């Protein structure tokens, strides 16, 4: 226990406990082993608001309390998510790139009459505003980053382009090309740590190639187990990704998870489809929404990934394919696409807090 000072020895009984009748001074916490703190007879009382006669009028997220009237333990936690309409884009399009969530989004590129566009729009939670265009108009791009630091990766510009452009919050500038030009791939990550996977390359062939970005260069790493294009993809950075759905020569519902080194097959989506999009800041919590399947059934369905399996949740109002998607599993943005004509519609996904009873089993 360390050096005994201030006559502490006189206060230690034969049983090894303290007789504190004339004990003074302080024992440093570093001199007390956790395992020695036993036989505690009292703990601090719960806060006054933790035991209440009625539920708090404005609880905080994660707060737990005991209602003495109803005799039940309750919590204020995340409930089910749902889609709500947002402001329309200025330019209806399909196959665009997008980053951000319901309060701040950035959409760029795409296909709109009469051809491919470089137009970029910013979202403030209610309306879209046109800002500076990409240097190279294109569609079927990859994306990474945030609305103030974004990347537009590769894509289709008759033919595919290897070009990458960076957004600094005001304008786009060209940066390091990818190694393998492609379109319709999955991608995710940050401005300095990104990953792209799958797609349709120059041949043209479906590819499983994967490249990671470290802030200065693109590096080819291990391929997907099944090459695919028109897939959904989400994740945190170059070490974390989830690839789902798409087309391998036929539509699929298979899902693969990236751990920074290799891809592993995990549980499938409930629906077989391609041309879908996703939202998720990690590979353990994500959404997959929209898409289509022959004979060109276009879906408004949404599935939620909990790190192990997919569960169908609330649908979008507008069924769409080749749309743009971004955000997190609790705060997502779905825009643009076609059904079968081009749409400018925006939908916002949010998960609200709800009061729930904590049962005892």
User: What would the pLDDT profile of 170-188 be if each residue is shown by its tens digit?
Assistant: 999 999 999 999 999 999 9
Model pTM score: 0.81
Scanning the structure block, which residue is given the tokens 């779905």?
334
Q: How far apart are CA 46 and CA 89, in angstroms?
A: 50
CA distances from 224 to 27, 207, 309 (A): 58, 8, 19
In a domain, 187, yes or no: yes
Three-class SS of residue 103? coil
Is 62 a member of any domain?
A: no
Q: Which domain holds residue 135?
A: 85-351
Task: Tell me what pLDDT residue 180 has.
Answer: 96
On whether residue 77 sits in a domain, the answer given is no
| Residue 233 in domain | yes
- Per-residue pLDDT, 57: 85
Question: Which pLDDT score is estimated for 353?
Answer: 77
Residue 232 lies in a domain: yes
Residue 249: give its domain's CATH number: 2.120.10.80
Q: Which residues pair with 151 in a beta bridge?
A: 144, 166
For the chain, list residues with pLDDT below 70: 1-49, 360-361
Report yes or no on 20 lying in a domain: no
Answer yes or no: is 240 within a domain: yes
pLDDT at 46: 42
Q: How many domains, in total, are found in the chain?
A: 1
């Amino acid at each position: 226990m360390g050096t005994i000072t201030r006559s502490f020895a006189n206060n230690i009984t034969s049983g090894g406990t303290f007789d504190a009748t004339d004990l003074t001074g302080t024992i440093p916490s570093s001199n007390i082993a956790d395992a020695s703190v036993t036989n505690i007879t009292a703990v601090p009382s719960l806060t006054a608001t933790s035991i209440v006669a009625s539920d708090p009028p404005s609880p905080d997220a994660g707060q737990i309390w005991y209602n003495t009237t109803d005799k039940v333990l309750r919590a204020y936690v995340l409930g089910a998510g749902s889609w709500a309409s947002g402001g329309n884009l200025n330019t209806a399009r399909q196959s665009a790139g997008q980053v951000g969530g319901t309060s701040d989004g950035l959409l760029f590129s795409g296909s709109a009459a009469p051809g491919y566009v470089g137009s970029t729009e910013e979202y403030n939670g209610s309306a879209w505003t046109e800002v500076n265009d990409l240097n190279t108009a294109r569609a079927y791009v990859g994306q990474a980053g945030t609305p103030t630091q974004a990347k537009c990766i590769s894509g289709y510009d008759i033919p595919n382009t290897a070009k990458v452009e960076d957004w600094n919050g005001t304008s786009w500038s060209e940066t390091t090309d990818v190694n393998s030009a492609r379109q319709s791939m999955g991608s995710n990550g940050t401005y300095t740590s990104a990953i792209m996977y799958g797609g349709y390359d120059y041949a043209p062939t479906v590819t499983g190639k994967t490249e990671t970005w470290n802030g200065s260069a693109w590096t080819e790493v291990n391929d997907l187990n099944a090459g695919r294009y028109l897939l959904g993809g989400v994740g945190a950075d170059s070490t974390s990704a989830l690839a789902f759905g798409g087309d391998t020569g036929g539509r699929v519902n298979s899902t693969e998870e990236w751990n920074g080194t290799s891809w592993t097959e995990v549980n499938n989506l409930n629906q077989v489809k391609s041309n879908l999009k996703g939202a998720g800041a990690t590979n353990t919590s994500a959404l997959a929404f929209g898409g289509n399947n022959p004979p060109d059934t276009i879906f408004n369905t949404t599935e939620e990934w909990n790190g192990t399996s997919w569960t169908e949740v609330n649908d979008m109002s507008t069924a769409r394919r080749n749309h743009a998607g971004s955000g997190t599993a609790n705060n997502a943005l779905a825009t643009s696409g076609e059904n079968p004509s081009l749409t400018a519609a925006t939908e916002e996904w949010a998960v609200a807090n709800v009061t729930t009873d904590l049962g005892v089993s």
